[in-house]
Chains A and B, each alone.
Chain A
Amino acid sequence: MTSRREFVATALATTALAAGALAVGRPRDAAARTRLMPHLQQRMDAPTRDLLMLALDTARRGGASYADVRIQRVQRSAVATRERQVLDVIDSDTIGCGIRALVDGCWGFAATPRLTNDGIQRAASEAVATAKANRIARDRPVELAPNPSHPDATWSSGFTIDPFTISVEEKTSLAIAANAAALSVPGVRFVSTQLQFVKEERNYANTDGSVIAQTLVRTYTPMSITAVSADRSEFAVRDAVVQPTGRGWESVLENNLPVNAKKWAEEAAEKLTAKSVEPGRYDLILHPSNLGLTLHESVAHPTELDRAYGYEANYAGTSFVAPPETVLGALRFGSPIMNIYGDRSQPGGCATIGYDDDGVKPDQFDIIKDGVVVDYQTTREQAMWLDWWYRKRGMPTRSHGCSYADSWSSVQFQRMPNVSIKPGARDLGWNDLIAATDRGIAIQGRGSYSIDQQRFNGQFGGALFHEVRGGKIVGQLKDVAYQFRTTDFWAALDMLGGQKSYELYATFSDGKGQPGQANAVTHGCVPTRHRQINVINTGRKA
């Protein structure tokens, strides 16, 4: 059988990082990089498949009625800069195996980096032993919703240039050029730019007969620009300028940091003299880059089914969208123009995947239809909890494909898919919403964000605030935060942008679970207008 080292060698031989020299070599021509890496279509290598099968066999022999196993490699690469200086060039690579066993209706999990026969067998046995220990308090045995097996599946995310083929020089020079452009603006004293890339190779098998190999890439280039007043009595930050994405290096080139940095820097400098907001009620016009986080916290989290049933009570919290028996088809979440859907097959999404960590091919599904709650985010285990609802609606009881573990060392559980708002029927854009508003605040970029554990009371800031008077932007504001009761806020939605204004907001690190896990997720958004929302002034002097 195969040793860990052979697996690593095999994995390396099929990736661009194989010869470290390739990855860190001189910049190559774009045409060569643009072609899709041929290895991504390749099937799983035999040594990896053998280890997966050994894990499943060991679990089954130990008494597991169902088991699944992931051998996963996660590579990360980051360049961190400030002003004219490179702080860090970081590269990491982790490989290991996580095994989940279902024994007598209870779960057990074990994870190890020891990719030898002995290491895998011990971990599988530990997963079974842990499941057996869990039997002491069980009311309802875990049942999994039906799912077809995918015996030889492959998938890769839709990137055109693998960021792991880009040289260190190309990455650092781009960041330094962006910083220099920002520093050319008077008043701007500090700037930091990072380039972060993740590549996951996920090899999965379960006792239903699925064997799945997937590769995906995610990219994020956060930038933060700080202006300081001449007498050092004030400072202002402009950040949240670029969205994370499930795409590759091509997205970095499209964002054109060295050109756009100057505009963002000017916004930071202008913020120093911005008017401090007068608290009160305003019509808010939220840009997709701001709405995304508000939607994430106030809509996407409370419609996670495990939260609704109390499974996250000790940490992330429960949900006001509960109990499902009472609210499904009945709870009015927002205005009739509010339509929310989940979709892990959305191109470019950070949560986009071919098959989830239950081996399920995700579908697109409605969560809120015409303002009313109609479904939740689910895994195979959870879909069974809503069997009664799906029967009533004449729908099959199936998982929406929301099972995810953030590493080989983490157990999979329900995580947020890409959760998005449907564009309005009219072809409106950001400027149309501003033009239609008499007295309001237009908000771009994410800022401070806080919401309670059942998602009733939220308070959100932003990165950039503009005062709107008589349908026109009249100047920058600062110290703005909007505070709301979730259902009131969404009931106050009265205008939304059309398809042309649809943009992808995303976050790289959404936390949930104990031990904590991070999920990357995208929210497709259009600009929205919410009438008469409470705005507070957060400014205070030390």
Chain B
Amino acid sequence: MSRFIDPRAPRSLLPDDVVISRTDAQRVIESVVTLSTADAVQCVIRSSRTRNVRFAANQLSTAGVVEDTTLVVMSYIGKKHSAVTTNDLSPESVERTVRKAEAIARLSPDDPEMLPLLGPQTLRDVSAAWDEETASLAAGIVTAAANTALAPARRPGSTLNVAGFLVTGADAIAIGNSAGHFAYHRGTNANYTLTVRTADGTGSGWSGEDAVAWKSLNFAAVSAQAIEKANSSRNPVAIEPGRYTVILEPQAVGDLVGLMPRYFNARSADEGRSPFAKQGGGNKLGETIVGSMVNLTSDPFDPMVLTQPFDGEGMPLTKQSWITNGTLSTMLVPRSWAARKNLVATGNPNNIVLAGGSTTREQMIASTQRGVLVTRLWYLRETDPRSMSYTGLTRDGTFLIENGKISKSIKNMRFNESPLFLLNNLEALGPVRRTASDGPGTAIMPIVKARDFNFTSLSDAV
């Protein structure tokens, strides 16, 4: 639990309306619907306030607070449509935006795939996604949390160099249209990531946590873990690149497996340009694509996830099981493709959950004769869309395991590997956690052990 909440501390100096309320959002959207002369109109309002603190070279560097609210007006005239965005929600600006959207739509060519707007939907709230305290923290509270890393690094005789980032804030989204659909969600988020380097430049360790509420973050534990990794990763030795058994910590699993959701798109597969396209036509739905211990889902209501329960079009999101016991069990079906192929649309997920298992990190290490323990991955880029292959590197804590024990720190390595091959080569799954990276969407990932991970070259980077 965080010790950095002081009830007597001043709140933010900015006005109290942290993000747009449901009522205000409804009012703006109703005014757009009233003003509209198009056949149909849909609005999206996004509102946020965040506070961040950066530190590096053992000092605070930049810090700030940012707020903004934007309105998107999408006008539909016949089969023509447009989207116009403004961040000025005054009545004059809203009217100007509506008129501009209509003017642009009128001049646009027809869209043969244009869909009717969604009507009223049944939506479940994710009210646990909001934490009042997290929404409006004052500057001093956030900088004080940075001291869990700065204080030990600034102690006389310390050989640590710390760089970290704390970001906390609130956001709200509202979607509504002339067909009677209205959806609203607000959530908070707190995130702390830390990189600790040793003064001799040979060791680097990373740790991070992400949560709905500031008070759930364990700052001291994150700082301690990154410091421990930096110290134990000093003076790495080179090992020969090649295929190794790996233990990937949850962050590393998220870095690779978190890339998978967009490949589940049924349209790309049906069009023959996806790893899930079937030779001769169609897609691989129902086929075994990875090892049988793999269950991959998206679920905004999962207590570890708690994300917005509808997508950018306003489609309600429910639990989707993309992979069930290794079988491709659902494909991501956009509304437009569902309409053309007579399928059920899935909505576009904003989270990904790989189910864990019961093998602990210690058991994974103890059962490994020779393998590599990886903290996180970096700079992943697709090298072959046909097999979902990526290249990237290990970073901030890479260790050799020999005879059931971590034996030494090793140099980072580049890999060329596909999350599909990783999930096909699994040997064990462990406990899950919420990853803390900057990636899109929330990811819940286990620590995993897998064989034959393809490391292709060495890097001198620390």
A-side interface residues toward B, CB under 8 Å? 4-5, 8, 20-21, 24, 85-96, 106-114, 122-123, 125-127, 129-134, 136-140, 167-169, 172-173, 176, 189-190, 226, 228, 231-235, 237, 309-315, 317-318, 320, 409-411, 413, 448-457, 459, 461, 479, 481, 483, 485, 514-516, 536, 538-542
* Residues in A whose Cβ lies below 8 Å from that of B438: 315, 514, 516
B227 to chain A, nearest CB (A): 14
A109 CA to B66 CA in the complex, in Å?
8
Q: With A110-B64, A481-B383, A514-B52 in contact, do A231 and B165 touch (Cβ < 8 Å)?
A: no
A175 to chain B, nearest CB (A): 10
A318 CA to B378 CA in the complex, in Å?
13
A274 CA to B364 CA in the complex, in Å?
43
A409 CA to B56 CA in the complex, in Å?
22
A33 to chain B, nearest CB (A): 17
A233 CA to B143 CA in the complex, in Å?
55
* Residues in B whose Cβ lies below 8 Å from that of A318: 197
A459 CA to B103 CA in the complex, in Å?
47
Taking a contact as CB atoms under 8 Å apart, the answer to whether A515 and B109 are in contact is no
Can you name 14 extra interface pairs (CB under 8 A) apart from A138-B60, A410-B66? A5-B88, A24-B104, A93-B84, A112-B67, A133-B142, A232-B277, A311-B57, A314-B193, A318-B197, A448-B382, A450-B414, A536-B456, A538-B391, A542-B387
The A-contacting residues of B in range 194-236, CB under 8 angstroms, are 194-195, 197, 204, 206
Taking a contact as CB atoms under 8 Å apart, the answer to whether B55 and A130 are in contact is no
Taking a contact as CB atoms under 8 Å apart, the answer to whether B386 and A168 are in contact is no
Taking a contact as CB atoms under 8 Å apart, the answer to whether A137 and B65 are in contact is no
Closest to A94 in B: B87
B136 to chain A, nearest CB (A): 12
* Residues in A whose Cβ lies below 8 Å from that of B96: 20
Taking a contact as CB atoms under 8 Å apart, the answer to whether A235 and B272 are in contact is yes
* Residues in A whose Cβ lies below 8 Å from that of B279: 231-233
A538 CA to B113 CA in the complex, in Å?
36
Of the candidates B55, B60, B382, B457, the one having the most CB atoms from chain A within 10 angstroms of its own CB is: B60
The A-contacting residues of B in range 134-160, CB under 8 angstroms, are 138-140, 142-144, 146-147, 150, 154
B461 within 8 A of A: yes
Taking a contact as CB atoms under 8 Å apart, the answer to whether A169 and B112 are in contact is no
- CB-contact partner of A20 in B99, B143, B273, under 8 A: B99
* Residues in B whose Cβ lies below 8 Å from that of A111: 64-68
Taking a contact as CB atoms under 8 Å apart, the answer to whether B14 and A86 are in contact is no
A108 CA to B139 CA in the complex, in Å?
10
* Residues in A whose Cβ lies below 8 Å from that of B244: none
B408 to chain A, nearest CB (A): 20
B395 within 8 A of A: yes
B409 within 8 A of A: no
* Residues in A whose Cβ lies below 8 Å from that of B273: 190, 226, 228, 235
- CB-contact partner of A457 in B58, B381, B457, under 8 A: B457
Taking a contact as CB atoms under 8 Å apart, the answer to whether A452 and B461 are in contact is yes
A90 CA to B75 CA in the complex, in Å?
11
Q: With A137-B147, A457-B457 in contact, do A310 and B197 touch (Cβ < 8 Å)?
A: yes
* Residues in B whose Cβ lies below 8 Å from that of A90: 82-85
A271 to chain B, nearest CB (A): 13
B164 within 8 A of A: yes
* Residues in A whose Cβ lies below 8 Å from that of B58: 137, 139
* Residues in B whose Cβ lies below 8 Å from that of A410: 66
Closest to B99 in A: A20
B100 within 8 A of A: yes
Q: With A232-B279, A448-B383, A538-B389 in contact, do A8 and B88 touch (Cβ < 8 Å)?
A: yes
Taking a contact as CB atoms under 8 Å apart, the answer to whether A450 and B456 are in contact is no
A507 to chain B, nearest CB (A): 14
- CB-contact partner of A540 in B88, B389, B462, under 8 A: B389
Closest to B106 in A: A24
Closest to B64 in A: A109
Taking a contact as CB atoms under 8 Å apart, the answer to whether B85 and A514 are in contact is no
Of the candidates A410, A450, A456, the one having the most CB atoms from chain B within 10 angstroms of its own CB is: A450
- CB-contact partner of A92 in B86, B276, B456, under 8 A: B86
A237 CA to B272 CA in the complex, in Å?
12
Taking a contact as CB atoms under 8 Å apart, the answer to whether B112 and A85 are in contact is yes
Closest to A226 in B: B273
Q: With A5-B92, A85-B111, A448-B383 in contact, do A311 and B61 touch (Cβ < 8 Å)?
A: yes
B269 to chain A, nearest CB (A): 10
Q: Chain B interface residue count: which class? A: 35 or more
Of the candidates B92, B96, B459, the one having the most CB atoms from chain A within 10 angstroms of its own CB is: B459
B-side interface residues toward A, CB under 8 Å? 12-15, 50, 52-70, 72, 81-88, 90, 92-93, 96, 99-101, 103-105, 107-113, 138-140, 142-144, 146-147, 150, 154, 161, 163-165, 167, 193-195, 197, 204, 206, 271-273, 275-281, 378-389, 391-393, 395, 412, 414, 416, 418, 420, 438, 456-462
Taking a contact as CB atoms under 8 Å apart, the answer to whether A91 and B68 are in contact is no
B16 to chain A, nearest CB (A): 11
Taking a contact as CB atoms under 8 Å apart, the answer to whether B103 and A24 are in contact is yes
Taking a contact as CB atoms under 8 Å apart, the answer to whether A313 and B163 are in contact is yes
Q: With A140-B59, A452-B378, A514-B52 in contact, do A314 and B103 touch (Cβ < 8 Å)?
A: no
A413 CA to B63 CA in the complex, in Å?
12
**Inter-chain contact total with CB atoms closer than 8 Å:** 298
Q: With A20-B100, A411-B62, A450-B391 in contact, do A313 and B195 touch (Cβ < 8 Å)?
A: yes
Taking a contact as CB atoms under 8 Å apart, the answer to whether A314 and B56 are in contact is yes
Q: With A91-B100, A92-B84, A122-B15 in contact, do A138 and B64 touch (Cβ < 8 Å)?
A: no
Taking a contact as CB atoms under 8 Å apart, the answer to whether A24 and B100 are in contact is yes
A123 CA to B386 CA in the complex, in Å?
50
* Residues in A whose Cβ lies below 8 Å from that of B60: 106, 134, 136-138
Taking a contact as CB atoms under 8 Å apart, the answer to whether A122 and B13 are in contact is yes
* Residues in A whose Cβ lies below 8 Å from that of B65: 109-111, 126, 130
- CB-contact partner of B64 in A89, A127, A132, A173, under 8 A: A127
Taking a contact as CB atoms under 8 Å apart, the answer to whether A130 and B63 are in contact is yes
A483 CA to B392 CA in the complex, in Å?
12
A353 CA to B50 CA in the complex, in Å?
29
Taking a contact as CB atoms under 8 Å apart, the answer to whether B112 and A314 are in contact is no
* Residues in B whose Cβ lies below 8 Å from that of A233: 279
A483 CA to B381 CA in the complex, in Å?
14
Taking a contact as CB atoms under 8 Å apart, the answer to whether B54 and A457 are in contact is no
- CB-contact partner of B61 in A107, A451, A459, A536, under 8 A: A107
* Residues in B whose Cβ lies below 8 Å from that of A132: 139
A409 CA to B61 CA in the complex, in Å?
17
* Residues in A whose Cβ lies below 8 Å from that of B280: 231-232
A412 to chain B, nearest CB (A): 9
* Residues in B whose Cβ lies below 8 Å from that of A172: 108-109
Q: With A91-B104, A122-B13, A479-B384 in contact, do A542 and B420 touch (Cβ < 8 Å)?
A: yes
- CB-contact partner of A314 in B87, B194, B460, under 8 A: B194
Q: With A85-B111, A112-B14, A457-B459 in contact, do A310 and B387 touch (Cβ < 8 Å)?
A: no
A10 to chain B, nearest CB (A): 13
Closest to A534 in B: B457
Taking a contact as CB atoms under 8 Å apart, the answer to whether A137 and B146 are in contact is yes
B170 to chain A, nearest CB (A): 15
Closest to A8 in B: B88
Q: With A20-B99, A483-B414 in contact, do A168 and B460 touch (Cβ < 8 Å)?
A: no
- CB-contact partner of B63 in A114, A133, A450, A457, under 8 A: A133
Closest to A516 in B: B438
* Residues in A whose Cβ lies below 8 Å from that of B109: 86, 169, 172-173, 176
A107 CA to B275 CA in the complex, in Å?
48
Closest to A413 in B: B62
A235 CA to B108 CA in the complex, in Å?
31
Q: List 13 A-B contacts (CB under 8 A).
A: A24-B103, A94-B87, A95-B88, A109-B63, A130-B64, A130-B139, A137-B154, A189-B271, A232-B281, A312-B163, A317-B461, A459-B414, A542-B420
Taking a contact as CB atoms under 8 Å apart, the answer to whether B146 and A542 are in contact is no
* Residues in A whose Cβ lies below 8 Å from that of B195: 313-314
* Residues in A whose Cβ lies below 8 Å from that of B206: 314
Taking a contact as CB atoms under 8 Å apart, the answer to whether B105 and A89 are in contact is yes
- CB-contact partner of A113 in B87, B276, B457, under 8 A: B87
